[in-house]
């Protein structure tokens, strides 16, 4: 790069951006409407979804989904925004949840406030635990932090069978949410009441977490993630920046725990253990750690896989795991990153270039993948079905899993589907490059 | 004479048995532009790291405006008004250019660890960030991720981040390392512009830059300062010529 190249922007600046204070105004005024829109859409969606999906099981799924959304967003305050990989974050949600169960069982105290307030106590307990653990775990990020989080997580999960008074041993702790003070006459007897309680907290928590990312300490969390040393030479202690993120994350995890307590009215060791911590890592990463809304998508997709797919097949965890590995390998930005990849093409007005190539590649790929799944399911059936049971049903087609023909068909579908997808990939790549290139290349 | 901006007293640093800095005494006055030069491996960067507490000294003291800095962390020293850049570009690559500079302003503008202020609601913060961007000629690159800038632009951003907080002692570690001649001229001009009225301490290899910028020069050889003085005096010092400069001047020509 030459001297003139470096200096030119400054000289031409007068001609292009007219008023130096304009960006400031634009940010101040424009962002209000721009940033409010997704929140309003979100709130409206939350409000009307129960009228679209009216069944009780749909409500159950959505309740679980929104709780996972809060938990995943809280987790991403660490992973995505602060660069801290935690393997034991379930304990903050879990302890918040257990605390809420105990409050539910302290009938006099519980009867003195309405139920929607309860998650705040969960948040405070989650935050309290994060204050203690964070005081020593946030000294460094990276492997040390990850190992401490794993150790503390295991420690607390293991103590659930020792400290029976608090964690209730193997049965866990259960309670009854309806003993709270009625909230405008509502005692939260029905699932739908709980749904709106959770929806309220999703919006509030997500908004607060979003705002947090716009505060000085939230911005510095990004800086510390990118380059802790540089942040230190700007007057910020990387350790304290991490600590504040950690405590805030603990608070929102605790809120999620409190909502879990309200929704299920029982907490067990399962809410604390490494498997739960692993799942929230998976959910967050699947959705995409690089964008604020990534964990929301991750929570929705994962909960659907976990609930809807698990009704269809015993192997849902296998597919979820495969999806996760594929995401990590091919789309490190997660589903959100995958979506945001298309923004440049839309901005150039060339997204239409992608439709046909996508159809040509993705539909055969999807069919081929289903063929692969069929092979997996058939193998599973042959190995695990009761002896003599050779009949199975796949995609509404009943057949004999010990016969040759279904295997040949499934393998052929997989091979042909993936083969076509592979053959059309170069065309898709060309279309992609075309769609992401501005104009006629002047 | 008033209290020097920066004062090194018998500063020593050893890594195991290797003595890298072997007793450095130096006083740098307020508003002075001071260059530390020396052959490769003389310990220039180590000296920088000792002053800014990236490393703890084995012996000796660093005083900033007369105040002893022993035992302070880098972020505490920064808050006292000493800011540094790095030899290897050290920015926040995934954040935008604008955010890089804004982060450098947060502490100085008193935001500390607050989570009750929204950064883009503060007109003052945005305006001072844009002013700095204007100063380092990066306004056009405002919203690009810093990692996508050209090398010279990243170096300019590095300097911008270093001066943004308004520190009065600025330390630059080889600001022109790895640059072409024209880029070097550009950065030199930029340094002159942004450090006006401030104390500047820099490590530099390019003799042209050193003689252009520095009021005084210290020559560091094998962890000791063998000469300190005005550029002309240092250039004439036979010991310096023997140890370093003669050779460097020859290669310059």
If one counts every other C-beta atom within 10 angstroms of the C-beta of residue A435, the result is 20
Structural domains of chain B, count? 1
How large is the angle between the packed helices A294-304 and A56-82, nearest 10 degrees? Answer: 140
Domain CATH for B65: 3.40.50.300
State the DSSP code for A182.
P
Answer whether residue B244 is part of any domain. Answer: yes
Answer whether residue B48 is part of any domain. Answer: yes
Are residues A222 and B74, on separate chains, in Cβ contact within 8 Å? no
Check residues A254 and A360 and name the one with the higher pLDDT.
A254
Q: Does ipTM come in above 0.95?
A: no
Q: Is A118:A258 a contact under the CB 8 Å cutoff? A: yes
Are residues A227 and B93, on separate chains, in Cβ contact within 8 Å? yes
What is the percent of chain A with per-residue pLDDT over 90, rounded to a whole number? 52
Domain that holds residue B209: 6-252
Answer whether residue B70 is part of any domain. Answer: yes
Answer whether residue B135 is part of any domain. Answer: yes
Give the mean pLDDT of A143-160: 93
SS3 B96: strand
Are residues B102 and A220, on separate chains, in Cβ contact within 8 Å? no
Kindly report which listed range (A4-13, A173-182, A252-261, B198-207) carries the lowest average pLDDT score: A4-13
- Range of A248-252, A361-365, A390-394 with top mean pLDDT: A248-252
- Residue A292 to chain B, least CA–CA distance (Å): 14
- Residue A251 to chain B, least CA–CA distance (Å): 14
Answer whether residue B20 is part of any domain. Answer: yes
What average pLDDT does chain B have?
88
Residue-wise pLDDT tens digits, B168-207: 999 999 888 888 888 898 889 999 989 888 999 999 888 8
Residue-wise pLDDT tens digits, A158-204: 998 888 889 988 888 999 888 888 888 888 888 899 999 999 999 99
H/E element, A197 = helix A191-212
Query: Residue B245's pLDDT is what?
Result: 53
Answer whether residue B1 is part of any domain. Answer: no
Closest-CA residue in chain A for B143? A23
Domains of chain A: 35-341 (1.10.3470), 345-435 (no CATH)
Give the mean pLDDT of B84-88: 88
Answer whether residue B119 is part of any domain. Answer: yes
pLDDT band at B252 (very low <50, low <70, confident <90, very high): low
Residues 218-257 of A with CB under 8 A from B: 218-220, 222-223, 226-227, 229-238, 240-241, 244, 248
Closest-CA residue in chain B for A234? B104
Cα A407 to Cα A404: distance, rounded to the nearest angstrom: 5
Cα A232 to Cα B79: distance, rounded to the nearest angstrom: 10
B137 interaction partners in chain A (CB closer than 8 Å): 6-7, 9-10
Tokens of B120: 């883009």
């Amino acid at each position: 790069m030459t001297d003139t190249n470096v200096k030119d922007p400054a000289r031409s600046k007068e001609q292009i951006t007219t008023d130096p204070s304009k960006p400031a105004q634009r940010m101040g005024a424009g962002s209000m409407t721009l940033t409010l829109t997704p929140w309003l859409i979100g709130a409206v969606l939350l409000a009307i979804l129960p009228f679209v999906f009216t069944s009780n099981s749909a409500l159950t799924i959505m309740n679980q989904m929104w709780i996972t959304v809060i938990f995943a967003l809280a987790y991403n305050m660490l992973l995505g925004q602060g660069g801290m990989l935690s393997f034991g974050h379930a304990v903050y949600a879990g302890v918040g949840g257990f605390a809420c169960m105990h409050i539910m069982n302290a009938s006099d105290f519980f009867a003195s406030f309405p139920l929607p307030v309860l998650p705040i106590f969960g948040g405070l307990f989650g935050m309290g635990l994060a204050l203690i653990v964070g005081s020593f775990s946030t000294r460094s990020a990276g492997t040390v932090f990850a190992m401490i989080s794993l150790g503390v997580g295991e420690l607390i999960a293991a103590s659930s069978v020792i400290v029976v008074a608090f964690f209730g041993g193997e049965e866990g702790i259960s309670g009854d949410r309806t003993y709270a003070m009625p909230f405008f006459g509502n005692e939260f007897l029905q699932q739908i009441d709980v749904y709106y309680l959770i929806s309220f907290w999703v919006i509030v928590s997500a908004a607060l977490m979003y705002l947090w990312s716009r505060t000085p300490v939230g911005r510095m969390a990004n800086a510390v993630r990118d380059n802790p040393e540089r942040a230190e030479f700007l007057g910020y202690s990387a350790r304290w920046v991490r600590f504040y993120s950690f405590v805030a994350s603990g608070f929102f995890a605790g809120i999620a725990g409190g909502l879990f307590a309200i929704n299920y009215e029982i907490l067990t060791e399962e809410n604390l253990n490494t498997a739960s911590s692993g799942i929230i890592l998976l959910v967050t990463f699947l959705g995409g750690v690089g964008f604020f809304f990534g964990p929301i998508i991750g929570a929705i997709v994962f909960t659907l896989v976990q609930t809807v797919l698990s009704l269809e097949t015993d192997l849902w965890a296998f597919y979820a795991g495969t999806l996760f590995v594929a995401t990590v390998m091919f789309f490190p930005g997660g589903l959100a990153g995958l979506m945001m990849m298309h923004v440049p093409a839309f901005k150039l007005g060339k997204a239409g270039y992608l439709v046909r190539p996508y159809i040509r590649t993705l539909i055969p790929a999807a069919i081929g993948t289903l063929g692969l799944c069929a092979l997996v399911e058939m193998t599973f059936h042959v190995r695990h079905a009761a002896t003599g049971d050779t009949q199975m049903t796949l995609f509404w087609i009943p057949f004999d899993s010990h016969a040759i023909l279904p295997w040949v068909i499934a393998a052929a579908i997989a091979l042909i589907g993936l083969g076509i997808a592979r053959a059309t990939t170069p065309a898709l790549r060309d279309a992609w490059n075309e769609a992401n290139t501005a104009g006629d290349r002047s | 004479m008033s209290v020097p901006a920066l004062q090194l007293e018998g500063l020593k640093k050893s890594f195991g048995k290797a003595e890298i800095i072997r007793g450095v005494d130096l006083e740098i006055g307020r508003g002075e532009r001071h260059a530390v030069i020396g052959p490769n491996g003389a310990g220039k960067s180590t000296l920088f790291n000792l002053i800014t507490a990236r490393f703890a000294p084995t012996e000796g003291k660093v005083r900033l405006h007369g105040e002893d800095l022993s035992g302070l962390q880098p972020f505490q020293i920064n808050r006292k008004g000493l800011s540094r850049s790095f030899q290897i570009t050290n920015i926040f690559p995934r954040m935008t250019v604008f955010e890089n500079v804004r982060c450098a302003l947060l502490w100085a503008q008193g935001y500390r660890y607050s989570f009750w202020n929204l950064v883009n609601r503060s007109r003052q913060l945005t305006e001072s960030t844009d002013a700095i961007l204007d100063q380092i000629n990066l306004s056009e690159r405002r919203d690009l991720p810093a990692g996508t800038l050209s090398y010279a632009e990243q170096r300019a951003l590095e300097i911008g981040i270093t001066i943004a907080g308004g520190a009065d002692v600025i330390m630059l570690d080889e600001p022109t390392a790895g640059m072409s001649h024209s880029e070097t001229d550009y950065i030199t001009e930029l340094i002159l512009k942004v450090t006006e009225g401030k104390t500047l301490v820099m490590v530099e290899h390019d003799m042209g830059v050193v003689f252009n910028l520095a009021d005084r020069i210290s020559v560091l050889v094998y962890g000791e300062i063998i000469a300190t003085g005005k550029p002309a005096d240092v250039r004439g010092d036979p010991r310096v010529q023997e140890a370093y400069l003669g050779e460097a001047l020859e290669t310059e020509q």
